[in-house]
Amino acid sequence: MTTTTPSDRARGQAGNNPTERAGSRESAPPDAPRGEDPETVLTVEGLDVGAGTTQLLHDVTFSIQRGERVGLIGESGSGKSLTALAVMGLLTEGLAAHGEVRLAGRDASLLGASESRMSRIRGRDMAMIFQEPMTALNPTMKVGRQVAEVMTQHSQADRRSAQRKAVQLLDRVGLPDPAAVARSYPHQLSGGQRQRVVAAIALANDPLLLVCDEPTTALDVTVQALVLDLIVSGVQERDAAMLFITHDLAVVATVCERVLVMYGGRIVEAGPVADVLGNPQHRYTQGLVAASDLERSRTDPGRSPLDTIPGNVPPAGKFPDGCVFRNRCAFATKACEQLPPWTPRGEHPAGEHASGYACFHPVGSDRDE
């Protein structure tokens, strides 16, 4: 984390008080932030991330309830991974973050928290599964020790019992002969097995929040199906909250209950998966769903070209002001030069940002189609 506003700093100090470590998920801590619903695990509010004068994330606001699985979709460069890294406190030097990231049981925003504080939270209260399991694992350390390490780091567990528990965890993520796997090095395992090990590490301390960034993109389809199941069941058993990043609409619909659509560093639409992907409102989501529809086969009579979104995703910082999608949108008008307000869609227990869209010309609004 690189920037701290004065108020962040004040809160960061408050974070050192002993109640922070005592935060348990069974009883909402008395100092739960601003009397929010104790079921809310993660709250991100007005998150802005910038590099110098280029703003990369704009006013990202969402929350995730306990036991809720939320997907974050969008094309490359839309800000998905940046959002995850900001939540985890893993933004690289030179990126400045503003806004608030709050985790249940922590009374202060995690943005601007010191590294020593974040390293106590990361791996225990929130954990992350990355796309490339080979780079997420230490190549010089046996797998069992890597799983055990995350437990000895965050609790009083001694090495021997942590080792024993590591083997149990490896068993629970479906690795055959877990004792042998524990004794092997990452390069001796296949990609799918490595990703299972990463999942075991992420789930070792029963986190409140699991963040997954394209966890199956590098895997073959068969292995993907099995690893997705493993992640979802691991999260369900622990009643944890999950933020799942992917570019694959079918994967997000399989794994998540609710989805956030990002484009140009903004959340442009959000809501239950069936609403957003089955009946999108924002013109970008509509284009994305149409462009990924490959279900018409080559041999189908009357097969027409695929629907496309014209143009390309602009590079970071080159998105138009107002509506970020307006330079590629067939429905854009003068009005779109202004930032479209968030329009809630239906009632959602997690608040108005949980379901809605930001578009002046939502699907079905004008004389389109």
Partner 1 sequence: MSETQTPAISLRGVNREFRRPRTSLTGTPAVVHAVRDVSLDIQPGERFGLVGESGSGKSTLLKMISGLDRPTSGEIHIEGQPIHDRSVRKLRWLRRRLQLVFQDPMGSLDPRMRIREIIAEPLAAQGIPRGDKINELLERVGMSTDAARRFPHQFSGGQRQRISVARALAPDPHILVADEPVSALDVSVRAQVLNLIDEVVDGFDLTLVFVSHDLSVVRHVCDRVAVMRAGEIVEVGTTEQLYEDPQHAYTQQLLASVPRLSEALAGASAAQLAARTRAALAGSGAQDEADVAALAEEGARADAGAAGGGGVPAEDIRHDRHEDEGGTIG
The residue range among 84-92, 117-125, 289-297, 349-357 that interacts with partner 1, by the rule CB under 8 A, is: 289-297
Instruction: For residue 273, state whether it binds partner 1 (rule: CB under 8 A).
Output: yes
Taken as a whole, the chain contains a residue count of: 369
Among 29, 38, 67, 191, binds partner 1 (CB under 8 A): 191
Chain center to CA of 190: 25
For residue 205, the number of C-alpha atoms closer than 13 Å in the C-beta half-sphere is 26
Instruction: For residue 150, state whether it binds partner 1 (rule: CB under 8 A).
Output: no
Instruction: For residue 28, state whether it binds partner 1 (rule: CB under 8 A).
Output: no
Instruction: For residue 299, state whether it binds partner 1 (rule: CB under 8 A).
Output: yes
- Of 148 and 251, the one with the shorter C-beta distance to partner 1 is 251
Instruction: For residue 139, state whether it binds partner 1 (rule: CB under 8 A).
Output: no
Spatial contact of 284 and 261, defined as CB atoms under 8 Å apart = yes
d(CA 190, CA 188): 7
What is the nearest approach in angstroms of partner 1 to the Cβ of residue 289?
8
| Edge-to-edge order in the sheet of strand 95-103 | 54-65, 40-51, 95-103
Considering only CA atoms, which of 198, 197, 161 is closest in space to residue 182?
A: 197
Among 160, 298, 334, 367, binds partner 1 (CB under 8 A): 298
Instruction: For residue 233, state whether it binds partner 1 (rule: CB under 8 A).
Output: yes
Helices (H), 173-306: 178-182, 191-203, 221-238, 249-255, 273-278, 283-291
What is the nearest approach in angstroms of partner 1 to the Cβ of residue 253?
3
> Which of helix, strand or coil describes residue 317?
coil
Binding mask 247-266 for partner 1 (x = CB under 8 A): xxxxx-xxx-----------
List of residues contacting partner 1 (CB under 8 A): 75-76, 174, 176, 190-193, 220-226, 228-233, 247-251, 253-255, 273-274, 277-278, 287-289, 291-299, 305-309, 312-313
